[in-house]
Amino acid sequence: MELELAGELAQGADTKIVLFVMDGLGGLPHAETGRTELETAYIPHLDRVAKESVCGFTLPVGPGITPGSGPGHLALFGYDPLKFNIGRGVLEAAGIDFDLQPSDVAARGNFCTVDGTGRIVDRRAGRISTEDSARLVAGLRDIRVDALKQGSGRTEVFIEPVREHRFVLVLRGDGLSDAIADTDPQAEGAEPLPLRATSPEGEATAGLVAKFLEAAKKYLADKAPANMLLLRGFAKRPDWPAMPDLFKLRPAAVAHYPMYRGLAKLVGMETLPVGPALEDSIATLRENWGRFDFFFVHYKYTDTAGEDGDFDRKVAKLEEVNEAIDSLVELEPDVLMVTGDHSTPATMAAHSWHPVPFMLRSKWNRADPCTMFNEVELQQGTLGTFPAKEALPLAMAHAGRFKKYGA
């Protein structure tokens, strides 16, 4: 469904929707047992929900496409991930839950190493430690003051460490533009590219960044383990229609990890403070139950286990969710969706393109033959394999939140 149409159809209602996302949910059969993580796990409570649900698989972006976390979640929030692209700088800022303002310009930074002639030896400076990186960031924060004095008095510069060699650069001020080319040549042996605007409107901002870069270069020159930086993906926060306006929902995100909080903010959700454990999420949900009517609940650890190639731990994490699902059902959401943002089969130790298990429970369900929540049983599901961006419209309908189309 196009967002414009969703906006036309959406209406308020006294109903609640929960989107429970198990990150990296889908799996593949274990070489020895022939069973996936979900088939292996003992998850009677999830199975019971499946019995009461309409079931199938979501296709996050398209056939054969392995989604990153950004596209995978945007699709579940109802936004076509092929149309709604997030600039790399913005995604990086979202990833540390940086409160990006509409006029801010963000870029992703890498600390790197260059040789005596200025050519890049290692674009990631050997993936320096997060601690080393934080130390260099602190130094850069000091020199930025000088850069600011030379530049516009109204422009603030934020530099935030991310992880290993990565950091975020954010400029805040009036009239800033993101029409700036990468300085990262994406190749070793080459020199960092000179900072330049990609259109005339970018020139003033490019001038500011160039001054900062010059000072940063001097500061870093004698440092170790990195002695230079690269910038790429200059971008502004996208000006997307927000979920509250579009879907006429009061949406909240119950997500501990910064990346998911950041993504939720980009579509206009309120992010609730929450601890790392699943019980924290449930508690936050319960406490805020009256204040919102859409809850995105994010569970990270299925993906982490999958990415680590740890089949047994992924199974254990699924069983942890199984234990908690009843307390979620007890809140009596009008619509409960359980799915993932993509598959992360432990056998692949990576995100994959495989469709993602999905179930939707509401009082308006037709009969669906699924009796268990796993990749084999869900093949019986009446929803089949469908684009993930259609999950929210479906939930809206089941929640009585879509008007009739046409007379």
Query: What is the side-by-side order of every strand in the sheet holding 384-387?
Result: 270-271, 251-254, 294-299, 17-22, 335-339, 356-361, 54-59, 384-387
Minimum CB separation of residue 307 from a second copy in Å reads 12
Which of 71, 89, 173, 202 binds a second copy (CB under 8 A)? It is: 71
Q: Which of 274, 357, 341 is nearest to 67 (CA)?
A: 341
| Whether the Cβ atoms of residue 159 and residue 107 lie closer than 8 Å to each other | no
The residue type found at 312 is: D
Choose one: 44-52, 62-70, 276-284, 301-309; the region binding a second copy (CB under 8 A).
62-70
Candidate list 13, 68, 130, 139; residue touching a second copy; CB under 8 A: 68
* Nearest residue to 163 (alpha-carbon basis) of 85, 70, 259: 259
Interface size with a second copy, residues (CB under 8 A): 55
Identify which range of 139-147, 199-207, 296-304, 379-387 contacts a second copy by CB under 8 A.
379-387
Residue 93 host element (H or E): helix 88-95
Q: Report the alpha-carbon distance of residue 58 to residue 11 in Å, rounded.
A: 25
- Per CB under 8 A, does 385 bind a second copy? yes
Are 381 and 57 contacting, i.e. CB atoms less than 8 angstroms apart? yes
- The CA distance from 335 to 361, in Å, is 6
The answer to the question of residue 69 lying near a second copy (CB under 8 A) is yes
Element (H, E) at 337: strand 335-339
Distance CA 349, CA 309 (A): 4
Residue ranges of the alpha helices (H) in 111-170?
130-150
Residue with tokens 């991310």: 162
Q: Strands 294-299 and 17-22, how do they pair?
A: parallel
Query: Judged by CB, which is closer to a second copy: 182, or 216?
Result: 182
Residue with Cβ nearer a second copy (157 or 336):
336
Cβ distance to a second copy smaller for residue 83 or 218: 83
Q: Which of residues 351-370 bind a second copy (CB under 8 A)?
A: 351-354, 364, 366-367, 369
In the complex, what is the shortest distance from the CB of residue 76 to a second copy, in angstroms, rounded to a whole number?
14
Which positions from 22 through 41 interact with a second copy, judged by CB under 8 A? 28-29, 34, 36
Scan residues 5-24 and list those touching a second copy (CB under 8 A): 5, 9
**Residue 96 CB, nearest distance to a second copy (Å)?**
13
| DSSP class of 80 | -
**Using an 8 Å Cβ cutoff, are 201 and 114 in contact?**
no
Q: Which residue among 301, 318, 375, 388 contacts a second copy (CB under 8 A)?
A: 375
Token pair for residue 181?
A: 């080319």
Q: Which of 13, 51, 85, 139 binds a second copy (CB under 8 A)?
A: 85
Per-residue binding letters, 316-355, with a second copy (x by CB under 8 A): -----------------------------x--x--xxxx-
Nearest approach in angstroms of CB 349 to a second copy is 12
Binding-site member from 32, 64, 149, 174 for a second copy (CB under 8 A) = 64
User: Which is nearer to a second copy, 33 or 129 (by Cβ)?
Assistant: 33
Sorted by sequence, the CB contacts under 8 Å of residue 369 that are 6+ apart come out as 380, 381, 382
Q: Can you give the binding site for a second copy, defined by CB under 8 A? A: 1, 5, 9, 28-29, 34, 36, 61-72, 81-82, 85-86, 88, 91, 345, 348, 351-354, 364, 366-367, 369, 375-376, 379, 382, 384-386, 390, 393-398, 402-407
